[in-house]
Chain A
Amino acid sequence: MKNKDIPKQIKSAYSLSRRNAMAGRLFCLPLYIGVLLFFGLPLLQSFWYSFNDVVADVGGYVTTWVGLDNFHNIFRVNVYFTTSLTKSLTELLYKVPVVLIAALFFALLINQKFRGRVLTRAIFFLPVIIASGVVLKIINSDGAANSMMEGVSADSGSGSYGSIFDSSAVQNFLIEAGLNEKMVDYFGTIANSMFDLLWMTGIQMLMFLAALQSISPSLYEASAMEGATSWEDFWMITFPSLTPMLLVNIVYTIVDTFTDVANPVMLQIYKQYSGLYYGIASAMSWTYFLIIGVILALIMLIFSFIQRDEYLVQARKAEKLAARRAKLAAREAAMAAREVANQA
């Protein structure tokens, strides 16, 4: 009886998993086609370019194999590439945490109910529209508005605007307070780029907002019944529910700062492209996004580790609990048996 059942079960489980796999592949079908037609081929071509000397020709490009010359060029000959690479990497160190914390903070703020919420949300959406387009470029190139953005007060054009993020006052204050000069410099950089950083938060804020909206309100009701404070609510309900989006936001912030047109490395790449050095430009961008890829892989690894670890801890706890219960039950059973024996 038993022997007959087991293979049947395994077989059915096997076919179910196979059916699942097929369904998954069907769902991903657009991606297969798209990667084949629009992404994979250009990517491989640019990879090929990075080992070649590319010269524009009628109806296409002529490539001649040069091996690792392009990579040698960008690291050994080009003066700017490595310096701008380290610069954009150090920028990342303060940009990501500041942007994410600010975005989360403001998302929590505009997720609350208050009068004028619609207007506030419309205003907070402005950076999403403006920061990704030409308009920011225009504002940046504009004298008066620029003085705001850069944190430098200037007297130009139509009246002068004192800047709201002028960092010299902050720096003086910090030096007066007896802080280390390097620290002051570090804070000064942050304060100087505060306007840019706040403007960068738009998209992350919206993503956090969407994640906040999808948390079930019944969770908060339950915690209110248990008498939890809102501080506990945040750490026990809100933050754990946000972790999937937190990962998206970290990835987005890193990619956004890296592929931003104003990023020093992107400027280098763009310069090579406009100079028609496609081989060198391809080599640069491949080196560049391999580095980003490694950073992102590390972050994802950490995230998956945290999540898996939590599961493991819980599983282990459950196991221990079960073992203890089993032990107790066994002891009780033994006691009962002894009692029965005694009575007998």
Chain B
Amino acid sequence: MKLQINRERLKSRLPKWLFSLARAVLIIGMSYVFLFPVLYLVSVSLRHADTVTDPSIVWVPKVLSLESIQKAWELLKYQQTAVLSLIIAVGSTLATCISCSLVGYGLSRFKFAERNLLFFIVILMIVVPPYTILIPSYLNFRYFDLLGLLSIPPFSFLTPGGQGYFNLVEYPQAVLTFILPSLFATGLRAGLFIFIFRQSFLGMPKDLEEAACIDGCGPLRTFVQVIVPLATSAFITVMLFSFVWHWNDYSTSAVYFLGDIKPISVMLNNLRDLLNASNPEFIPLSADMTRTYISAGALLVVVPPLVLYIFTQKYFTESIERTGIVG
């Protein structure tokens, strides 16, 4: 009798225990894959630049030094450029969330004649490589005149000097080249965000909206008060991706920002040139020194989004309890 109980207990416990072990092994292995380059960056950027080539150092630096981080901070103009990137990323993210969720809702729940055409355009937005429209977009922003509207006399007085267009491709106002399209659901990877919202709204039960409709709730109010709270996880996903992608964007930003102060990722991309230019003797730095500084710069760029993620990730676990429908 006693033996039987023990065996039963063993039966129920052994798989669980094995399962936990397997899970731990997998997670630790994956963590290693993901952490390796980052730890490597940290390790290299904390070394003194002279000891980078020392073959006896693998992970732990012999001499801790913040010198390379300081230098990267200065060269990247971190305070200014990080704030610039932050403004772009936060502004565009908020604008993207609002506009893309509205469009996604419109595409998922209402029937109108040109809906499929609109959805086709959204797919086109996902598929078109950014390079394709980069040059026309640049020209569009360089002479931004709202399809010629601003060049007509009564409006042209609004533009600087009455020239009939805005030049959006300069340091401070170039921020608008990201925020304006985001406001109108055509920003960076907006097609994908619309698609994400549409899919997550499609997955929701229609009963909620029908109930709201019967209670006399208009479409906009239904959206704000019923749908948005249910789609928290979609919103957080879009927010995170939008922030990170705006923060990391360097191919389009490099085109729109002329002058010394550019978004942080563009600065990082140019760090090698900046390093060489900052060298007073015009002697090229050794490859290892350059690598230390660039690693330090990369570390500085990675940290803010990571901090953001650590603060927002708890909403991922919280959103479970907010599903409205029971049963």
Contact = CB atoms under 8 A, between A and B. Distances in A.
Interface of A: 17, 20-31, 33-43, 45-46, 49, 60-61, 106, 109-110, 112, 114, 118, 120-130, 132-135, 137-139, 142, 144-145, 148-149, 157-159, 164, 195, 198-199, 203, 206-207, 209-211, 213-218, 222, 241, 244-245, 247-248, 251-252, 255, 258-259, 261, 266, 269-270, 273, 278, 281-282, 285-286, 288-289, 292-293, 296-297, 300
B104 to A, nearest CB: 9
Contact of A26 (B106, B196, B230, B250): B106
A134 B268 contact: yes
A45 B136 contact: yes
B313 A128 contact: no
A41 B140 contact: yes
Contact of A251 (B195, B247, B310): B195
Contacts of B23: 109, 112, 114
Interface string B207-233: 000000000000110010000001101
Contacts of A269: 129, 131-132
B176 to A, nearest CB: 11
A37 B132 contact: no
B291 to A, nearest CB: 6
Interface in B292-306: 294-295, 298, 301-302, 305-306
A282 B320 CA distance: 46
Contacts of A31: 99, 103, 106, 118, 121-122, 184-186, 194
B133 A43 contact: yes
Given A158-B57, A159-B55, A289-B129, A198 B33 contact: yes
Nearest to A36: B147
Interface stretch (B36-44, B155-163, B275-283): B36-44
A37 B111 contact: no
Given A42-B140, A124-B31, A292-B127, 9 more contacts: A24-B110, A122-B309, A122-B313, A124-B34, A128-B241, A134-B250, A158-B54, A211-B200, A216-B323
B244 to A, nearest CB: 6
21 contacts: A20-B112, A21-B110, A23-B110, A23-B220, A24-B115, A25-B110, A27-B103, A30-B184, A31-B184, A34-B184, A37-B147, A46-B136, A123-B35, A125-B306, A125-B309, A135-B248, A135-B298, A137-B269, A159-B55, A213-B317, A289-B132
Interface of B: 20, 23-24, 26-27, 30-38, 40-41, 44, 52-55, 57-58, 99, 102-103, 105-107, 109-113, 115, 118, 121-137, 139-140, 146-147, 180-181, 183-186, 190, 192, 194-196, 199-200, 202-203, 219-220, 223, 230-231, 233-234, 236-237, 240-241, 244-245, 247-251, 265, 268-269, 288, 291, 294-295, 298, 301-302, 305-306, 309-310, 313-314, 316-317, 319-320, 323, 325-327
A26 B107 CA distance: 11
B269 A134 contact: yes
A30 B132 contact: no
A273 B131 CA distance: 8
Contacts of B196: 207, 248
A46 to B, nearest CB: 5
B316 to A, nearest CB: 6
Nearest to B22: A109
Contact of B295 (A60, A138, A285): A138
A158 B99 contact: no
Contact of A120 (B31, B40, B105, B110): B31
Contact of A244 (B26, B106, B199): B199
B126 A34 contact: no
B149 to A, nearest CB: 10
B133 A42 contact: yes
Given A24-B112, A244-B202, A43 B128 contact: yes
Contacts of A255: 126-127, 192
Contact of A129 (B132, B135, B194, B309): B309
Contacts of B36: 145, 148
Contacts of B44: 158
Contact of A23 (B219, B234, B305, B314): B219
B228 to A, nearest CB: 13
A244 B200 contact: yes
Contacts of B126: 251, 255, 296
Contacts of A244: 199-200, 202-203
Contacts of A245: 199-200, 203
A199 to B, nearest CB: 8
Given A21-B113, A42-B140, A123-B34, A206 B240 contact: yes
A129 B308 CA distance: 11
A109 B27 contact: yes
A153 B309 CA distance: 33
A316 B236 CA distance: 39
A309 B121 CA distance: 26
Q: Which 5 A-B pairs have the closest CB atoms?
A: A24-B110, A27-B106, A34-B184, A133-B248, A34-B186
B110 A27 contact: yes
A34 B56 CA distance: 57
B14 to A, nearest CB: 16
Given A34-B181, A134-B269, A252-B192, A214 B203 contact: yes
A137 B245 CA distance: 15
Contact of A158 (B52, B112, B137): B52
B85 to A, nearest CB: 11
B34 to A, nearest CB: 5
Contacts of A286: 132
